[in-house]
Amino acid sequence: MRKLNIYFTAGIPKLEDTAKVAKLIQEAGADMMEIGIPYSDPVADGNVIQNAHALALQNGMNINTLFKVLEDIKESVKIPKILMGYLNSVIQYGFEDFCKKCKEVGIYGLILPDLPPIEFERKYKKIVEKYGLNFTFLVTPETSIERINYLDSISSGFLYAVSSSSTTGKVDNNLENNPYLKKLAELKLKNPIFVGFGIKNKVDFSNATKHTQGAIIGTSFVKILLENPTNWEEKSESFIKSIRE
């Protein structure tokens, strides 16, 4: 079965909902989750997730608060949890301290889209490995085969295939007969390939995983949390189950 990875931004709809969202994602049938660390300038994200970051910060979510939540759910939420954020906030916390804490609270891996791969190799790879964490890089349709192979070689956990060169939530492309996804499958990379950006429903998920091992749904799920602050649980659960039916 192809794996379903659900992204949400920590701290929405309300600060205290973060643990509930994580538990719901697991119970509704997702295989793993990405938890976004709120940041003031999330450059890789579209309007919906940018708004989620702004609301989460307004609600008071920060790295320390998130780590407390993760500690609380460490034993109850067993599916892999990946933290997705931006380098500056991790550097401010202290990169090694951050990785150490991630290990303590049961984090599976990290995605930091603005961390240059060469800098990762030189300064951070050994620290990430020291604490037993996976680290995922992103590739796009414009990424050369040589660079795809390079990013695959320094990634672990999975390789994040951005479905098009766009920000999250702004994609309207042909996932079913996508030559880029076919190309990735033919490369026989060491990591499983997960497709992200623009996957909104079961049909998208099915098409995106014809040539890959999994897909990531973010914007559509976050939109439910933002638009249904009082009854998000029922709608979120139904949404995830609809992908799995």
Kindly give the interhelix angle for 95-104 and 63-73, rounded to the nearest 10 degrees.
20
Going from N- to C-terminal start, the domains of the chain cover 3-244
Kindly give the interhelix angle for 232-244 and 219-227, rounded to the nearest 10 degrees.
160
pLDDT bracket for residue 173 (50, 70, 90): low
Residues carrying an active site annotation: 34, 45
Q: What percent of the chain has pLDDT over 70?
A: 95
Tens of pLDDT, residue by residue over 218-245, are 999 999 999 998 899 999 999 999 998 8
- pLDDT score recorded for residue 170: 46
Question: Which residue shows structure tokens 């550097």?
Answer: 91
Q: Which residues are within 8 A (CB) of 95 and not within 5 positions of it... i.e. 6 or more apart?
A: 123, 124, 127
Tens of pLDDT, residue by residue over 195-224, are 998 899 999 999 999 999 999 999 999 999
Q: What pTM did the predictor assign?
A: 0.94
What is the CATH code for 3-244?
3.20.20.70
